Amino acid sequence: MNVIVLGAGLMGKEAVRDLIEQQGVLSVTLADVDEEKAKNVQRSLASEKVKVKRVDAANDQELQTAMHGHDVAINALFYTFNEKVAKAAIETGVHAVDLGGHIGHMTDRVLALHEQAKRAGVTLIPDLGVAPGMINILTGYGASQLDRVHTIKLYVGGIPLRPEPPLGYNHVFSLEGLLDHYTDPSLIIRDGQKQQVPSLSEVETIYFERFGPLEAFHTSGGTSTLSRSYPHVKCLEYKTIRYPGHAEKFQLLVDLQFTRRDYEVEVDGAIVRPRDVLLKVLTPLLDLKEKDDVVLLRVIVSGEKDGKERTYEYEMVTEKDRQKQVTAMARSTAYTVSVVAQMIGDGTIQKRGAYPPEQIVPGDRYIEEMVRRGVVIRATIH
């Protein structure tokens, strides 16, 4: 298969690294508006499979021309491009996957293209990161083995291997997005009813092998499309994992209005958003730099099978690849989007249209492929 990767950032680079190591991938085009950035990735990976193309994704014609002739497109651009890339995929007859984007309902806009994609013979799968993404695939896999699904509980956290004060946290993704996840309400299903609860609330203690005690609390966006895929469950919850005390510290910043997008104050005659100041202060302070990170994940799907209660539980602890200097979060995210893109390209996934991951990605094959890449997901049944 021939694959185009849009975006030469961290996730794009790691997706390309994975693709070139697979026998079934003949060529990879790395496209970015910054051609030199893409060439740097090409040089660092040193593979004849990689070609570089300068593409301004904001230009529809340029985007379609670049995508034409490829089997699958991996969209590793900023989430605001997701709908545009999906439409270009339909126009060019190229399958496409992306890393998600629930701000501004971007994923919903991609899924709304279902009929157009189906008519064009194209498969579109958004939300292929870790959360959403990996958790959706594993939820779908667990649910597919039950006659009835009653409860879905999701726990995910990207944290430093060794926490440092003041927050015990280092960012591997945009802090802007983190503040949104901590500020916007969290959508859950409780007692069979959809409802919203404040993010950072209902803190619970959680343990993983070699890690704990840790804390987990509600954050927005994590349940993704699951509330629509499984509307009849009694319970659906997503919680973010951090080191103890993190939620309380951030709750103070929320209460002091430091995270609001719509709050401004006047300082010496200038209008200032406290949020902008917070981001300026925290971004360098919390930069992961060369430090080691770990991604922790637990998906619990409970229900009935043959009239008996049954629970499927999936757990992952993934650390940084020190040899390749690839963060745990980049491995978990980029491998997910790359593996699913290849499933479309090799015919494992044959349904056409736009689908959320839980409705289309075969969980057993996904787990096998991730394990092959050193990202081990352990399944237990009880």
Domain of 250, CATH number, reads 3.30.360.10
371, part of any domain: no
Residue for token pair 């049954």: 310
pLDDT at 227: 95
Structure tokens at 381: 């049944």
Residues 120, 200 within the same domain: no
Q: What band does 102 get if pLDDT is binned at 50, 70 and 90?
A: low
Position 176 pLDDT exceeds 90: no
Q: Is 297 helix (H, G, I), strand (E, B) or coil?
A: strand
Residues 71, 52 within the same domain: yes
328, part of any domain: no
Q: Is 226 helix (H, G, I), strand (E, B) or coil?
A: helix
Contacts of 269 (CB under 8 A, 6+ apart): none
What mean pLDDT is predicted for residues 56-62? 98
331, part of any domain: no
33, part of any domain: yes
pLDDT at 251: 98
Residues 179, 265 within the same domain: yes
Position 103 pLDDT exceeds 80: no
Residues 217, 297 within the same domain: yes
Q: How many angstroms separate the CA atoms of 238 and 12, rounded?
A: 27
Do the beta carbons of residue 225 and residue 356 sit within 8 Å? Answer: yes
Residues 172, 27 within the same domain: no
Q: How many angstroms separate the CA atoms of 62 and 166, rounded?
A: 46
Residues 82, 176 within the same domain: no
Residues 153, 292 within the same domain: yes
Instruction: Give the other-Cβ count within 10 Å of 278's Cβ.
Output: 16
Whole-Å CA distances, 19 to 5, 69, 197, 236:
10, 17, 40, 34
189, part of any domain: yes
201, part of any domain: yes
Residues 115, 239 within the same domain: no
* Candidate from 12-16, 103-107, 120-124 with smallest mean pLDDT: 103-107
Q: What percent of the chain has pLDDT over 70?
A: 99
Contacts of 350 (CB under 8 A, 6+ apart): none
What mean pLDDT is predicted for residues 28-51? 98
Residues 215, 296 within the same domain: yes
Do the beta carbons of residue 213 and residue 200 sit within 8 Å? Answer: no
Q: How many angstroms separate the CA atoms of 372 and 214, rounded?
A: 28
pLDDT at 174: 77
Mean pLDDT of all residues belonging to the chain: 96
Q: What band does 172 get if pLDDT is binned at 50, 70 and 90?
A: confident
Q: Name the H helices within the chain.
A: 10-20, 35-45, 60-67, 82-92, 106-111, 114-120, 134-144, 175-183, 226-229, 246-255, 274-285, 328-345, 363-372
Residues 236, 290 within the same domain: yes
Residues 106, 147 within the same domain: no
Position 317 pLDDT exceeds 80: yes
- The boundaries of the domain holding residue 11 are 2-126
Among 95, 126, 157, residue at a domain's last position? 126
Position 10 pLDDT exceeds 80: yes
What mean pLDDT is predicted for residues 213-227? 95
Nearest partner of 169 among 161, 177, 160, 178, judged by Cα: 160
Q: How many angstroms separate the CA atoms of 167 and 176, rounded?
A: 16
**Could you tell me the pTM of the whole model?**
0.96
CATH number at residue 95: 3.40.50.720
Q: How many angstroms separate the CA atoms of 112 and 102, rounded?
A: 14
Structure tokens at 234: 């009694």
325, part of any domain: no
What is the count of structural domains for the chain?
Answer: 2
Q: How many angstroms separate the CA atoms of 98 and 116, rounded?
A: 18
Q: How many angstroms separate the CA atoms of 298 and 309, rounded?
A: 19
pLDDT at 104: 63
Q: What band does 337 get if pLDDT is binned at 50, 70 and 90?
A: very high
First to last CA, the chain: 40
As a residue count, the chain comes to 382
Position 275 pLDDT exceeds 70: yes
What mean pLDDT is predicted for residues 322-337? 95
Among 319, 348, 377, residue at a domain's last position? 319
355, part of any domain: no
Cα Rg of the chain (Å, integer): 21
pLDDT tens sequence across 289-305: 889 999 999 999 999 99
Q: Is 301 helix (H, G, I), strand (E, B) or coil?
A: strand
pLDDT at 105: 84
What mean pLDDT is predicted for residues 75-85? 95
Q: What percent of the chain has pLDDT over 90?
A: 92
Residues 121, 143 within the same domain: no
Among 319, 335, 354, residue at a domain's last position? 319
